[in-house]
Amino acid sequence: MTNWADGAPAADMAPWEGGWYRTAQRLASPNHGPRPVQTSQVDLIVVHSISLPPGEYGGGAVQQLFTNTLDWDAHPYYQGIRGLQVSAHFFIERTGVLWQFVDCDLRAWHAGQSFYRGRSQCNDDSIGIELEGLEGLHFESAQYETLARVCQDIALRYPIEYIAGHEHIAPGRKLDPGPGFDWPRLQGALDWPAQRFPLNTRADPLQIR
């Protein structure tokens, strides 16, 4: 396994057990694979939104989807995604509860056909975080708090230089997390350089303090 943390102080690694985040609820997904040998670093976080059925929260269907246990006959919407095998590294419920499905040293199946920072196939060198929500609608304060915390801790272990939405890495194909997601709020919480964020989401630092 690639040691992404070479040279990192031991204290900084406390949130991690290998590529597993210690404070997340762990539910392993079979939908993953090794990162390509030529991948030199994981430098991108991709923010998504998901709810199943769309607009319904808290029923556990997302966890079931990511572990290939969803009952395809439980709702008419599922007929359109029957057999889909996908995963993300993390999922944040509306309450802020954090789940992890894939070891971050491994390649999860969250981005699909994508292109960002001059590279294609963003699954190869990114970490995917799903927020429970419907694209275009708002997200909860607890979700922003959890998202900021896990992003900060991801950056302790991996050389993160970029964070973007699914809509930014697959424009025209994906719309999440959508206009309801408050990028300036996340930028302010992380206090990361504006250059790490998609161009059309960056806020003037004076506006977020």
Report yes or no: 129 and 90 within 8 Å, Cβ to Cβ.
Answer: yes
Q: Which of 195, 44, 30 minimizes the C-alpha distance to 125?
A: 44
Chain position carrying tokens 């025209």? 172
- Alpha-helical runs (H) found in 99-170: 141-157, 166-169
Q: What distance in Å separates the CA atoms of residue 201 and residue 149, rounded to the nearest whole number?
A: 20
Q: What distance in Å separates the CA atoms of residue 48 and residue 129, rounded to the nearest whole number?
A: 6
- Residue 71 contacts by C-beta under 8 Å, 6 or more apart in sequence? 64, 78
The CB density around residue 85, as the number of other CB atoms within 10 Å, is 11
Choose, from 17, 56, 93, 130, the residue flagged as catalytic.
Answer: 130
Q: What distance in Å separates the CA atoms of residue 172 and residue 208, rounded to the nearest whole number?
A: 29
Is position 130 annotated as part of the catalytic site? Answer: yes
Provide the annotated active-site residues: 130
